Amino acid sequence: MATETVPEEAVLLPPEELKGYNNESTMRTTKFKGNDIPLTLVAKPFADFEDSCLRKVFSLLFSKHNPHLTDLELQELHLICENMDLEDVGCALNPQYLWAVMPDTCVWTNIFESNEFSVNIFHLPKDMIIPIHDHPDMTGINFVLHGSIEYTSYTVTKPDEAVLCNRVVTTPDMRAILTHKKEGNLHTLLAFEDSSVFQVLTPSYNDEHRACSFYSVTHIEADRYHLSQNNDDETIGNYNCRCANLEYSGIPVSDIFSYIESTTDYRPTADSVLAKAKYIDSVVEKDIRFNGADNQG
Ligand SMILES: [Fe+2]
C-alpha cells in the first residue's frame, strides 16, 4: 500500500516571500482520501469571480435556452476555456503529486452538478484509460489543462453499430475535446501524459434518463465497428475501483453561488452537488429547509 506523503511542490513559501498576499491566497489546501494536502504556493490571489473564466462558463450555462449547447455555444465555451486561469480552478500544479498519495487512480473533483449541467475536473495518470462510454443526448467539453489525452470517438449508426468519428491526441495548441449529441458521442480517453481535464456536460448524467453506458467495439470493416454494451464487464469494474474524489480548491464555491443566486432564479436543491461540504452545510441545507415542500414533488 502506498505511503501517504505530502508532495514536494506543496511546501509553502517562507513568510518573507508572502508579502502582499493574504493568508487565504497562500494557504490553500485540499482534501484527498480524507487527508488535508497543502496545495500550493500561490503566486497570486484568486481572480475576482466576476472577472474569471469560471464566471463566464456559468453565465453561458445559465443563459442557454436548450438542455444542450448549440454548436455556437460549444465554440464559445471552448474559447472561454482557452483563457482559463489554472489557479482559479485549483489546478496550478501538475497533477503528478496526486499519484504519490494514491497511485494509478482517476481523481475526480466536482465543482457543480445539477440536472441541467455538471462542471468537474478529472485527473488521469499517464497510460490510464477511461473505457468507451456514451453521453446520451448530451453536449459538452473536455478541456485539457495539463498533459495530453488521446481520444477516440465513435458515432452510433445503428443500435449495435458505430463508425469511427475521430482519433486525435491533444496538444498545447489543440486542447479541446467537444462532445456533440450525436456525432462522436461515444468516446474513450487515454492519458498520453499525467493529465488534468476541465469538463462541462450539459445536461448532466442522470441515472434515470441519461445513465452512462460503457461499450466494447469490434472492428467489422473500414471504419465500421460492432457495438455492444458491457456495463458489467470486469474492465469497467476495475476502472470504477480506481476512482477517487479530490476536494475542489479553486475560486470559492460560495463566490460561485452568490453569483448564481444574484443573477438567476436557480436555487440549489437536494439534487445539487457542490464541491464544498462547508458550503452545503451552511447554504444548501438551509435552502432545502426553506423550500422543502418544493423539493418533494
Ligand atoms: Fe466522456
- Give the per-residue pLDDT at 73: 96
State whether 136 and 274 are in the same domain.
no
By mean pLDDT, which of 169-178, 189-198, 205-214 is the weakest?
Answer: 205-214
More confident residue, 173 or 105: 173
Distance 49 CA to ligand 1 centre (A): 27
Please, which pLDDT band fits residue 125 given cuts at 50, 70 and 90?
very high
State whether 132 and 55 are in the same domain.
yes
| CB of 162 closer than 8 Å to CB of 227 | yes
Residue 287 has pLDDT above 90, yes or no: no
Distance 187 CA to ligand 1 centre (A): 6
Rounded mean pLDDT of 130-136?
Answer: 94
How many structural domains comprise the chain? 2
State whether 142 and 270 are in the same domain.
no
| Cα–Cα distance, 194 to 64 (Å, whole number) | 33
Distance 210 CA to ligand 1 centre (A): 13
Please indicate, yes or no, if residue 24 is contained in any of the structural domains.
no
- Give the per-residue pLDDT at 92: 87
- Give the per-residue pLDDT at 286: 38
Please indicate, yes or no, if residue 104 is contained in any of the structural domains.
yes
Rounded mean pLDDT of 192-198?
Answer: 97
State whether 209 and 276 are in the same domain.
no
| Cα–Cα distance, 180 to 22 (Å, whole number) | 42
Q: Quick one: cell of 45?
A: 490571489
By mean pLDDT, which of 138-147, 162-171, 261-270 is the weakest?
Answer: 261-270
State whether 223 and 275 are in the same domain.
no
Please indicate, yes or no, if residue 36 is contained in any of the structural domains.
no
Distance 275 CA to ligand 1 centre (A): 20
- Give the per-residue pLDDT at 28: 54
State whether 225 and 88 are in the same domain.
yes
State whether 201 and 69 are in the same domain.
yes
Residue 285 has pLDDT above 90, yes or no: no
Domain that includes residue 275, residue range = 255-291
State whether 238 and 274 are in the same domain.
no
Residue 68 gets which letter from DSSP?
S
Query: Looking at residue 182, which CATH number applies to its domain?
Result: 2.60.120.10
Rounded mean pLDDT of 111-137?
Answer: 91
Please, which pLDDT band fits residue 248 given cuts at 50, 70 and 90?
confident
Distance 190 CA to ligand 1 centre (A): 11
Q: Quick one: cell of 29?
A: 489546501
Mean pLDDT of the chain: 78
- Give the per-residue pLDDT at 279: 40
Please, which pLDDT band fits residue 133 given cuts at 50, 70 and 90?
very high
Distance 54 CA to ligand 1 centre (A): 21
State whether 70 and 158 are in the same domain.
yes
Please indicate, yes or no, if residue 86 is contained in any of the structural domains.
yes
Please, which pLDDT band fits residue 65 given cuts at 50, 70 and 90?
confident
Please indicate, yes or no, if residue 166 is contained in any of the structural domains.
yes
Task: Single out the residue of 154, 149, 168 nearest to residue 214, CA to CA.
Answer: 154
Please indicate, yes or no, if residue 42 is contained in any of the structural domains.
no
Rounded mean pLDDT of 70-98?
Answer: 93
Task: Single out the residue of 134, 104, 107 nearest to residue 213, CA to CA.
Answer: 134
CB under 8 Å to 277, separation ≥6 — which residues? none
Residue 196 has pLDDT above 50, yes or no: yes
State whether 126 and 233 are in the same domain.
yes
Buried-exposed string 86-117: b where 16+ CB fall within 10 A, e elsewhere = ebbbbbbbbbbbbbbbbeebbbebbbbbbebb
Distance 95 CA to ligand 1 centre (A): 20
Please indicate, yes or no, if residue 213 is contained in any of the structural domains.
yes
| CB of 61 closer than 8 Å to CB of 116 | yes
State whether 134 and 265 are in the same domain.
no
Distance 211 CA to ligand 1 centre (A): 12
Rounded mean pLDDT of 264-283?
Answer: 51
- Give the per-residue pLDDT at 296: 29
Please indicate, yes or no, if residue 18 is contained in any of the structural domains.
no
State whether 135 and 239 are in the same domain.
yes
- Give the per-residue pLDDT at 177: 97
Please, which pLDDT band fits residue 30 given cuts at 50, 70 and 90?
low
- Give the per-residue pLDDT at 60: 94
Query: 28: helix, coil or strand?
Result: coil
Distance 180 CA to ligand 1 centre (A): 11
